[in-house]
Structure 1
Amino acid sequence: MRSVLYKLLMAACLVAAMLTIAGCQKDDYCNTTYRYTIYTPVYESLKNMRASFKSEGPQPIETAGKIYLYGKYIFLNELNKGIHIIDNSNPSAPNNVAFINIPGNVDMAVNGNILYADSYMDLLAVDISNPLAAKESNRVQDVFPQRVYNYYTIQADTTHLDSLIVDFKTRDTVVKAPCTVGNGPIFLNDAMSFALNASSAGKSSVVALGKGGSTARFALMNNYLYTVGTWSLQVFGIQNAAAPVKQVEVPVAGGLETIFPFNGSLLIGSTGGMFIYDASEPTNLKRKGAFGHVNSCDPVVAENTTAYVTLRGGTACGGFSNQLDVLDIKDMTNPTLIKTYPMSSPYGLGIDGKRLFVCEGANGLRFMDASDPQNIKTFKQLKNIEAYDVIPTGKVLLVTAKDGLYQYDYSSMVAPKFLSRINMTTQH
């Protein structure tokens, strides 16, 4: 017993000696170098921002954002700047005809002659009966209190009540700190709060609706506009199309990214799974079902009784899975996995009569046969395009890519025909 106590005492003395020696070292004994990015917000007054709406002539396309198709027109978002209007009467020779200056715009949807668009925290209703001379019809203020910046959600800034963040200046820096200090991804300059982002058309008996891509956060169905934020789903009544009225806001979950209207239901993609909401009573939405998956970026589309979900890992969405999940949604209260297909960094996707299109970023664009969900095959993979999202239109496929807006005739899935490309002046 005395031998055991002696050994314990000696061990304790040895540890104490080591700690004493460490404490006597120079302060930089265990310093290390950390590399950070400093984000400094750029502010603009709310008054100036809300007075900046303007219909202009065609402008160079610098960065392709989300796309929306209505009639012969393609609406192409220029991230945080506005919307390009492209006359697509001839898909082989599309014509950039106008630009709507909408600061802070990311998402949009078209209902007859009215374009709905976000402008930072506001929702705009824009009269596009003459697309070359668009007019602001209405503005619903302060309905989008959060903004997503590089997969981080910016909370409303209560320290600048008369202004808002319109951009960020970034600067890389290197600092030295003790090894015990945890490494972090960013420094925030100025008072604001960041939280991890944890971003076929429905039928209408009243007016014609357009069609958006799979990364849309706006959806139209049965005289209602549905929008998803980071945590919740909002419902706007548009019985008077030019004057949307907020009806309800429904908490869903963290990390909401996309929304897809389908047969009276809403399919919501998130970083943690797909949620299905019954929209038969638009102001009383009820969750029907859900399908969970590992954290990943998650667009979703559906056709008949099958849903298609792409998961992309290795991003701020979380996870490392890169795959296509095919789900049976015959019973929407209990969606089940049919099969998982490995992919290479998939982004947006589209489905048209069992013809499936999957964007794989730098890995190209796949034209796929989805007639048998258990045995989906690739007809053709284009590797000379960095594709992000698509809209299939029955014959012509619209594709947003790193270097332009592409169009393909997919009458032959084995040999899709290139029709046109509108180039970007810069590449994101």
Structure 2
Amino acid sequence: MPTRLLFCTLFGGLLLLNACRSENEWDTSSTPYEPVYNADPSTKHVRFLAPRSTLNGGNLYTSGDYVLEEEKDAGLHVISYQDPAHPKKLAFISIPGFRAAAIKGDYLYVSNYDDLVTIRLNSFTTMQEAGRISQAWHLDDYPPFTGVLFECADTTKGTIVAWKLSEDLSGTSVKCRR
């Protein structure tokens, strides 16, 4: 029994030592990522457009005789199922930075980058924004990858809409890592 305890203690200690990474172990020769900003206020406008083809469909939400189909990063397709044998696309709700939606009662709640937008569902033909909470949640200010160097985010430059590899940045000048 004491041998087993000694072995487990030594093995656990080795695991802990291996988990520590010193400052000098980061590969600063790798190409860092930089944020892509968008400071255009129209980025946060929800628009109601003519129907269009689904390119990257996702979850479905129901409201009465209607189904809303997610289009990742773009918005929602409005589909009428009043005649279940012949569904018909009625409109597309363009929502830049769209990630999630929910329906409660007569309201549709959607994400528009870091804003929460409320849309009244009383009629899909006269849909309009009913409310907005700016910066309802915090967007990630780091790339969606681990083990990478990246330029630290500066939210004063606008909303981060993407991350890209940057050949213009020297890995040694980049201070942030994940």
Question: How high is the TM-score relative to the length of structure 2?
Answer: 0.64
Which of 61, 65, 68 matches 1:68? Answer: 61
Query: 1 CA distance for matches of 2:34 and 2:164?
Result: 5
Alignment pair present for 1:167 and 2:162: yes
The separation in 2 between residues aligned to 1:191 and 1:49, in whole angstroms, is 29
Show CA shifts across 1:98-124 (max 9, x none): 111111111111123211001111101
Higher relative contact order (CA 8 A, sep 6+): 2
Following superposition, the deviation at residue 72 of structure 1 comes to: 1.3
Given that 1:65 and 1:106 are in contact with CA atoms closer than 8 Å, whether structure 2 keeps it comes out as no
Matched, 1:45 2:10: no
Q: Distance in 1 between matches of 2:84 and 2:143?
A: 33
Match of 1:125 in 2: 118
CA distance in 2, matches of 1:144, 1:164: 12
Q: Name the SS of the counterpart of 1:48 in structure 2.
A: helix
The equivalent residue for 2:137 is 144
Q: 1:147 to 1:118 in 2, by over 3 A?
A: farther
Structure with greater proportional helix content:
2
Name 2:99's counterpart in structure 1: 106
Q: 1:41 and 1:158 mapped to 2: Cα distance? A: 7
Matched to 1:94, the amino acid is P
Aligned-pair CA distance for 1:76:
1.2
Equivalent in the alignment of 2:52: 59
Offset at residue 91 of structure 1 (A) = 3.5
- 1:57, 1:132 within 8 Å by CA — same for their partners in 2? no
Q: 1:122 to 1:64 in 2, by over 3 A?
A: same
Report the Cα offset of residue 61 of structure 1: 1.1
CA-atom RMSD, angstroms?
A: 3.3
Residues 47 and 109 (structure 1), Cα distance of their counterparts in 2 relative to 1, 3 Å cut: same
Q: 1:193 to 1:54 in 2, by over 3 A?
A: farther
Secondary structure of 2:125 counterpart: helix
State the SS of the aligned residue for 1:132: coil
Partner Cα separation in structure 2 for residue 48 and residue 96 of structure 1? 25
Query: For residues 117 and 193 of structure 1, what CA distance do their matches in structure 2 show?
Result: 31
**Greater per-residue strand proportion:** 1
Give the deviation of 1:41 after TM superposition: 3.2
Larger Cα-atom Rg: 1
Letter in 1 for 2:78: I
- Partners of 1:109 and 1:142 in 2: CA distance: 18
Q: State the Cα deviation string for residues 15-43 of structure 1 (Å, max 9, x = none).
A: xxxxxxxxxxxxxxxxxxxxx78654322
Unaligned residue ranges in structure 2 (runs of 5+): 1-29, 147-151
The 1:150/1:163 distance shift into structure 2, 3 A limit, reads closer
SS of alignment partner, residue 144 of structure 1:
coil
Instruction: List per-residue Cα deviations over 1:198-239 (Å, max 9, x = no partner).
Output: xxxxxxxxxxxxxxxxxxxxxxxxxxxxxxxxxxxxxxxxxx
User: Aligned pair in 2 of structure 1 residues 150, 57: CA closer, same or farther (>3 Å)?
Assistant: farther
User: Structure 2 counterpart of 1:45, which letter?
Assistant: A
Identity over aligned residues, as a percent? 26
Shift in alpha-carbon separation, 1:151–1:41, aligned structure 2, 3 A: closer
- Measure the CA separation in 2 of the matches of 1:92 and 1:121: 38
Return the offset for 1:84.
Answer: 0.9
Aligned pair partner of 1:134 in 127, 130, 134:
127
1:366-424 alpha-carbon deviations (Å, 9 max, x no partner): xxxxxxxxxxxxxxxxxxxxxxxxxxxxxxxxxxxxxxxxxxxxxxxxxxxxxxxxxxx
Task: Decide whether aligned partners of structure 1 residues 113 and 66 sit closer, same or farther in structure 2, where only a CA change above 3 A counts.
Answer: same
